[in-house]
Amino acid sequence: MSERFAADWLALREGFDAAARSPALARRLAAALPARPRVLDLGAGTGSLFRWLAPIIGRAQDWTLADADPALLARALDDIAAWAAARGYAVTDRGRALALRTPAGTWRVGVRVADLAHEVPLDGQDAVVCSALLDLVSADWIVRLAARLRVPLLACLSVDGRDAFLPRHPADAPVRTGFRRDQGRDKGLGPALGPRAPAVLQAALAARGFTVASAPSDWRIAPRAAGMLAELVRGHAEVAARRLPLRRAAIGAWQAARLRQVGRHRLAIRVGHRDSLALPPA
Ligand SMILES: C[S@@+](CC[C@H](N)C(=O)[O-])C[C@H]1O[C@@H](n2cnc3c(N)ncnc32)[C@H](O)[C@@H]1O
């Protein structure tokens, strides 16, 4: 059973994701791809990575958005069609696929409902990409992917543990401990790597002869971004209290204090991520 993600949460984070991802690694991916690349997006959700990366690839391209959640994929097609129309691209809607006629060529987008625990449909692709996925998977899952991969991989926004709520609070430690434990919970793809994902990916692909580059892609959430800050505070407190029931009172006080700071524009949060680009051996 795969972990469920709310479309509203993916929409809230999209702007922060776009600001955080590494354009330099994306341009290196684009330079390594053929004239009309076929791109597979694993755990695509509502298509946020397509909206960021397709313009950087910047030529005719065919995407397959793969996800276990059919409702998110349906929303992805709607959101991509609206995004394209807002940019003046002609959109042809073929039900489970779109064709966007852009000044940089036609961009085709199809969807595939797939539980990545059982199938990772790599065949016929020129690149594999993902965003905010690899911290959900296990080390074994990454080793199996590395054994089958023959094309470039761009893995964006894997958490690396360099998180900070600023200013500090006395109950940051139990919240962090409970949150970390939850990051390691099995979300349907084996015991989750959480902040170990970037290092495990690097080692697994380097062992297969890939050249791996990485760059920080942190969320830097400023005090004015009240909606995102409040969501992160509530999310951290909820999972930490579930994991550390004996610390529930301290965690509740932490949440109340943090939400007061949000209301006064006194809280900032950094969430450490890394983007990784792996290019196959020649
Ligand atoms: C954190 S969200 C990221 C979504 C999207 N890549 C983005 O950046 O907005 C993780 C995504 O992985 C998908 N997912 C989780 N487990 C999965 C599985 N076992 N098989 C396929 N997709 C899965 C979820 O449905 C969700 O869309």
Read off the CATH number of the domain in which 92 is found: 3.40.50.150
Q: Report strand pairing: 219-221 vs 268-271.
A: antiparallel
Residue 232 lies in a domain: no
Structure tokens at 113: 């409902």
pLDDT bucket at 63, cuts 50 / 70 / 90: very high
Q: Is pLDDT above 80 for 1?
A: no
Residue 85 lies in a domain: yes
Nearest CA to ligand 1 atom 4: 45
Give a yes or no: residue 227 inside a domain: no
DSSP output for 137-163: S-HHHHHHHHHH--S-EEEEEEE-S--
> How many other CB atoms are found less than 10 A from the CB of residue 240?
25
Q: pLDDT tens-digit profile of 223-253?
A: 999 999 999 999 999 999 999 999 999 999 9
For position 257, what pLDDT does the model report?
Answer: 98
Tokens representing 92? 């042809």
Asked if residue 1 belongs to a domain, the reply is no
Q: Which domain holds residue 208?
A: 7-161+191-219+274-279
SS3 185: coil
**In-domain check, residue 230:** no
69 CA closest ligand 1 atom index: 25
Measured distance CA(277)–CA(199) in Å, rounded: 12
> pTM for the whole thing?
0.97
pLDDT, tens digit, 9 for 90 and up, residues 88-127:
999 999 888 999 999 999 999 999 999 999 999 999 999 9
Strands 105-113 and 61-67: parallel
Determine the pLDDT at residue 61.
98
Pocket perturbation via mutation, ligand 1, pick of 1, 4, 5 by most ligand atoms within 8 A of CB: 5
131-153 pLDDT, tens digit per residue, is 999 999 999 999 999 999 999 99
Q: What is the pLDDT of residues 6-48, one digit of tens each?
A: 999 999 999 999 999 999 999 999 999 999 999 999 999 999 9
Residue 239: inside a domain, yes or no? no
Pocket residues for ligand 1 (CB within 6 Å)? Answer: 2-3, 5, 10, 17, 43-45, 48-49, 67-69, 72, 114-117, 131-133, 136, 188-189
Nearest CA residue ID for atom 14, ligand 1: 43
The reply to whether 250 falls in a domain is no
- Give the pLDDT confidence score for residue 45 in this predicted structure: 98
The number of folded domains in the chain is: 1
Burial 149-173 (b: 16+ CB within 10 A, else e): bebbbbbbbbbbbebebeeeeebbe
186 assigned to some structural domain? no
